[in-house]
Chains A and B, each alone.
Chain A
Amino acid sequence: MKLNLVSIARRNVFHRPLSTGLSVLLLAFGVGMISILLLVQRQLTEDFDRNINDIDMVLGHKGSPLQLILANVYHVDVPTGNISLHEAEEIVAHPFVESGIPLAYGDNYRMFRIVGTEWSYPAHYDCELSEGRAWDVPFEVVLGAGVAEKEGLSLGDTFFSAHGLTDESDVHADKTFVVVGLLKRSGSVIDQLILTSVETVWAVHEHVDAEAVAAGEPMPEREITAMLLKKRNPLAILTLPNLLRDSNMQIALPSIELNRLTQQFGIGLQTVRAIAVLIMVLSFISVFIALFNSLRDRRYELALMRTMGGTPGSLFTLVVTEGLWMTCMGIAAGLLLSRVGIAVLSSIVSDQFHYDWSQMGPAPGEWLLVLLAFFVGLIAAAIPARSVLKMDISRTLGAGR
């Protein structure tokens, strides 16, 4: 039996399970909500930044620019439409544009998008082969790490694609894809894609003879879904939209569209944050009241401890420690809660969008949250505890008769 002020404080706190429970619960929810916001924010920022990765502009069919970005950079939305490869290549050839990566897609395999592109696409994300080789002829594919892992596909395996991006009802049973390469995990959207040549995508949809395509026969009016552009000159951002005014194409800037997006759901985030802060404030008031009430009920007990040699300082420490026990339990429960929350969210997000959200480490700002909660808890405990410093033991014990 080791008894000291810290363990006595713990015993006192657990001696009043209801009021302690309420304080801890409130604090856990407050801290948990803010923590989960920080975790989601980190995940979004990381996902966004990693996937933008120097893509300055996206060229695609006219429509919602945000949709264009979401569809072609993050692969979470449907594309705005197809554009002519020829016209797109003219834009890439513009002196203000350094390079372009074509993207063509419209099929999926078990909800994983099959994207026709060039090798520069995975290379752009520093995504290297872990096994096999790059695609060479049509219907050869290279799998992102997440696809290979989830579907258990390896080199030499074959599969059929399904038309569309989100269901598997319309299977192109006549075309067999062959896995020729596997990519290393990059943490980017590539992990969740099946990559192949642009020709493959054409071949699937236009029912062109694969051999003919391989033989390099000219194919009239080829279309792609979008072109990811890297600018050579900042003026590109101003010049290119003018060039496209009369075409069916548009240029969207990922950075600007993302800002708009975060602003839009930023209102939602702000509301949640405000509620979380409110709950935290309530929890501190609850700690305050719990201690205040407990001190009132225990004033004889505390005076008694003074007669047994307890100094005002040690009793103050005792009461503050009680508050800190509640605070620390609340913080710990809150952080646990947010991890459970992010795990649940992660499973939803990875099922729906094939994004990996399983990072559990402390998010930036979380240390500050813990520190802040601890100090506010300290203050919420210190205010009622001050009454212990001023206690008149003679009067308290005399009044106890």
Chain B
Amino acid sequence: MLIVKHLKFNYHTAAEDESAMEFPDFSLARGEEKLLLGASGTGKTTLLHLVAGMLTPEQGSVELAGEDFGAMSGAARDRHRGRHIGIVFQQPHFVQSLTVLENLMMPGLLTGQTMDQSYAQELLEELGLGHKIWAAVSALSAGEQQRVSIARAVVHKPGLILADEPTSALDDGNAKAVLNLLRRQAQKAGAALLIVTHDNRLKSQFESKVELPLRTGIAHGATKTRES
């Protein structure tokens, strides 16, 4: 599903040489899961954005569902990402003017796929949000918002689910619940799951891990602002 090779990225700030980042190679097949661990300043978010085709690497390639992001035009990249990746952001954002259910229909709408509304409804029921289908997203609690954002990441049955620090702001119990939720949904969708985090509590939960090396002396400056 995902093959990452020889990735190198540079933010081209004033301290040009120092902000260059290199990332380890890894790959992920459908149904697999992987944890990307890294302390602050190791370029976790940068890697996540590279994997999602939101940033263009200086070197190397990101191949998703058999296609290389580097070979695509901007709009094609957006569509490819939308179709094959579901992203759970650390802080959930929604289209504020739309209801919960309508927000779940967005991925399908934006990629031009026909989506099954009953599946979206089912998903919300399963996450205990059946009564909030027609609610405004602003009326949801923080926990509900996170569950809706997970539902939105899987509703269009993507091949890869990316989660950015999904647990770092949660207590142990909730972190475990969210992790289980992500895993269950990824499994159900037959998707690969890639979790990017600095949360060491998750370390023991994953067999497959990539640890980003701490880059001494360059952890400050431009890259620092990119990190959580």
Q: Please list the residues of chain A having a beta carbon within 8 angstroms of any beta carbon in chain B.
A: 1, 3-4, 8, 11-12, 14-15, 298, 300-301, 303-314, 393-394, 397-398, 400-401
Contact = CB atoms under 8 A, between A and B. Distances in A.
A301 B93 CA distance: 6
A306 B54 CA distance: 9
Contacts of B90: 401
B97 A1 contact: no
B110 A309 contact: yes
Contacts of B110: 305, 308-310, 314
A308 B97 contact: no
5 contacts: A15-B96, A307-B87, A308-B152, A394-B55, A397-B89
Contacts of A12: 95, 97
Contact of A393 (B54, B79, B97, B101): B54
B83 interface: yes
Given A308-B107, A310-B82, A311-B78, 12 more contacts: A3-B102, A15-B96, A307-B52, A309-B82, A309-B83, A310-B78, A312-B78, A394-B49, A394-B54, A394-B55, A397-B89, A400-B89
Interface in B77-106: 78-79, 81-83, 85, 87, 89-91, 93-98, 101-102, 105-106
Contacts of B226: 398
B97 A8 contact: yes
A1 B117 CA distance: 9
Given A1-B117, A314-B110, A307 B102 contact: no
A17 to B, nearest CB: 11
Contacts of A393: 54
A401 B102 contact: no
Interface of B: 45, 49, 52, 54-55, 74-75, 78-79, 81-83, 85, 87, 89-91, 93-98, 101-102, 105-107, 109-112, 117, 152, 225-226, 228
B96 A298 contact: yes
A313 B54 contact: no
Contacts of A8: 95, 97-98, 109
A313 B109 CA distance: 14
Contacts of A394: 49, 54-55
A109 to B, nearest CB: 63
Contacts of A310: 78, 82, 110
A301 B96 contact: yes
A401 B91 contact: yes
Nearest to A297: B96
B95 A305 contact: yes
A394 B96 CA distance: 21
A301 B98 CA distance: 11
